[in-house]
Structure 1
Amino acid sequence: MERFQISMKEKDSVHVFAPATSANFICGYDVLGLALNEPGDEVYLKRVDKPGIRITKIIGDQGLLPTHPDKNTVSACVKMILDFLGKKNYGIEIELHKKMPIGSGLGSSAASTIAGLFAINRLLGEPMSKKELLPFALKGEELACGHGHADNVAPSLMGGITLIRSYHPLEVINLPVPPELCCSIIFPHVEVQTRAARQILKNKIELTDAVSQWGNIAGLITGLFTEDYNLLSRSLQDKLIEPTRSILIPEFEAMRKIAMECGALGFGISGSGPSVVAFTKGIDTAKTITIKLTELLKDHEIESNGYFSFINTEGATALS
């Protein structure tokens, strides 16, 4: 990767937001993802005279995240960019405000990674484009999760719906977002670790299931380009991952039944779970589904967080 000239004036401090994401888009395991309007993470960066990178405060993590600058994804990503641009002697103080649940299947580590990268890039006057930041985002995800996947970091950074066409070389494509496409997100307060959710997946699949999945992905992408909500609905089916992972999520089939009865286009797992997502045409339907699914879980004595959102087409943004 080439080094880039600083194109804007450097700043003394920045405050940025990076949105939560929903990976896989039901049928697009590890290749599709989308950004949400809420929740998300906020990061404050301040330039100081004393060299080095320091995390001065983390809010909202219940003490779960490391503050050592080499082990936290925000500070590690800041360090990567400073090293890459030859600014190792800069002094940076960091505040991370976690405004989304950890281990939720909503790209929590990705939001922190992207917030750190976007913030330091903006502090330095934006010498790099968003796409040029993506390889660093994969390294941040590898630090957090052990896997450098782009299906969360790409939409959090770039916004909208993204397709990871290739990792070698990395190629990320922004797909069209139909204007009325919305989603309802429910995060049940149960633990499903990403690594555990990967370990239970089958190593081999039936060719007929693979062909069906390819057809669904192609139909989904075609539906996005043509704004055909009926085609989207027919394509939002997962025959490969959901049958195995759904057993880890309480009341999964009951939630699906209610969501579809309320008019959802499709229903499935967000990322590796335990969050679930229902896609809708229109925000009112998404709001109704969110209310009903949180009520269902409450009836079964399961606490949850509920969100409803249009697709966030902006991605990471500066708040000040």
Structure 2
Amino acid sequence: MKSVRASAPATVANVSCGFDIFGFAVASPADEVVVTLTDKPGVVIREIVGDGGRLPLDASRNTSSVAVIEYLKAIKSEQGAEITLYKHLALGSGMGSSAASSVAALVAINHLHGEPLSRKELLPFAMESERIACGSAHADNVAPSLLGGFVLIRGYDPLDVTSIPTPEGLYATLVHPHLELKTEDSRRVLKASIPLKDAITQWGNIAGLVVGLMKPDYGLIGRSLKDVVAEPIRSVLIPGFDRIKEEAVKAGALGCGISGSGPTIFALSTDEATAQRVGQAMQAQFTDLKLKSDVYVSEINNAGAKIL
């Protein structure tokens, strides 16, 4: 039998204005897996560490194993696999927890088979595992975790994913309050349609963020990190959100918003010292609300998932 250990990083999806189309990877936290090839067909989850017993060991219901099952079908392999999953991302955190598990497992199984598929070719299998997790095969978490960097999902039919260059020295701050929000619940509260005025505002911010990242133009990035579609509705699910966002900008952040479906809040800054200061300011607000929280600061992670 052959085994390999792989990790896949947390991600920030939506990135304010880019609901379901933007995402970027951070350095930590990251999920890890050990995948072992077997001669017996079928995928088995041997153990899950760090989830408090909450995730299913049933291979048909866990994102890491579902991704591997779909992969093995696609390459027509008669071998099976055993998976040990080490969860370092909190469940329902808004940091792409389910995506990190599936991506780490995919990178591992592809490596064990001699990497017959490219990273982009692995995306559909990771997306299928997201369907198991939240009912929607979206790519805004799995794509940046798999590919690294800042990613645009231009369309799904056919799948069209591209990377957006980011300025060197752009730092992300993630503050995760010890709350849990299920993605399906956060999606359920959204409206089925939006006014044309809001759509035009959102389109302008999406374009502005892309241009700001590529030029780079930090002022334009900051002005574009605004969401008039999902954030006004979802923010009520996160205690103290408006004040936290205000304090992040006061501390020097370019902008601040909800990471994925929340409750984690992200901010972007132009250097590490500012990003650390922003994290302290945001965490202080959660502390005032008697909520414990974790702070993560890193540059945009351009490597994505990796073999350890």
TM class, shorter-length: over 0.9
2:49 alignment partner, one of 49, 59, 66: 59
CA contact (8 A) 2:245 2:282 kept: no
Q: 1:177 aligns with which of 156, 162, 166?
A: 166
Distance 1:91 1:138, change over 3 A: closer
Runs of 5+ unmatched residues, structure 1: 1-10
Q: Could you report, residue by residue, the CA deviation over 1:231-262 in whole angstroms, capped at 9, with x for unpaired residues?
A: 11111111111111101100111111210111
- 1:70 equivalent to 2:60? Answer yes
CA distance in structure 2 between the aligned counterparts of 1:30 and 1:52, rounded to whole angstroms: 32
Partner of 2:230: 241
- The alpha carbon displacement at 1:298 in A equals 1.6
Corresponding residue number in structure 2 for 1:125: 114
Kindly provide the CA deviation profile for residues 47-76 of structure 1, in whole angstroms up to 9, marking residues without a partner as x: 234443221111111111111111111112
- Given that 2:173 and 2:275 are in contact with CA atoms closer than 8 Å, whether structure 1 keeps it comes out as yes
> What amino acid is aligned across from residue 286 of structure 1 in structure 2?
A
CA distance in 1, matches of 2:74, 2:194: 41
The superposition leaves residues 266-302 of structure 1 with CA deviations (integer Å, 9 ceiling, x where unpaired) of 0110111111111111111111111222222122211
What percent of counterpart residues are identical? 48
- TM-aligned CA distance change 1:261 to 1:124, over 3 Å: same
Give how far 1:209 is off.
Answer: 1.2
TM-score (norm: length of structure 1): 0.93
> 1:98, 1:190 → 2: CA distance?
17
**2-side partners of 1:219 and 1:235: how far apart?**
6
2:105 corresponds to which residue?
116
Equivalent of 2:123, from 134, 140, 154? 134
Q: Do residues 280 (structure 1) and 269 (structure 2) align?
A: yes
CA RMSD in angstroms comes to 1.2
Aligned to 1:311: 300
The correspondence for 1:35, drawn from 25, 37, 44, is 25
Q: Is the 8 A contact 2:251 2:281 kept in 1?
A: no
**CA shift at 1:206, angstroms?**
1.5
Q: 1:217 to 1:95 in 2, by over 3 A?
A: same
| AA matched with 1:78 | V
Q: Which residue of 2 aligns with 1:22?
A: 12
Query: How many pairs align?
Result: 308
Say yes or no: does 1:196 pair with 2:185. yes
Distance 1:49 1:235 in 2: 52
CA distance in 2, matches of 1:86, 1:201: 40
Deviates more, 1:25-34 or 1:79-88: 79-88
Deviations, residues 185-219 of structure 1 (Å, cap 9, x unaligned): 11112232211111111222121111111111111
Counterpart residue type for residue 207 of structure 1: L
- In the alignment, is residue 271 of structure 1 matched against residue 260 of structure 2? yes
Distance 1:91 1:207, change over 3 A: closer
* Residue aligned with 1:99, SS: coil
* Separation in structure 2 between the aligned mates of residue 144 and residue 253 of structure 1, nearest angstrom: 29
Shift of 1:114: 0.7
Name the amino acid aligned to 2:175: I
Q: Separation in 2 of the partners of 1:23 and 1:253?
A: 19
Paired with 2:193 and 2:59, the residues of 1 have a C-alpha distance of 40
2:290 counterpart of 1:301: yes
Distance 1:148 1:289 in 2: 33
Unaligned runs of 5+ in 2: none
Equivalent residue letter for 2:30 = G
Work out the CA distance in 2 between the residues paired with 1:48 and 1:233. 50
Following TM superposition, by how much is the alpha carbon of 1:93 offset from its aligned partner in structure 2, in angstroms? 1.8
Give secondary structure in 2 for the equivalent of 1:119: helix
Q: Give the aligned partner of residue 256 of structure 1.
A: 245
| C-alpha distance in 1 between matches for 2:178 and 2:9 | 20
Using the size of structure 2 for normalisation, the TM-score is 0.97
Which SS does the other structure have where 2:95 is aligned?
A: coil
The residue type paired with residue 14 of structure 1 is: V
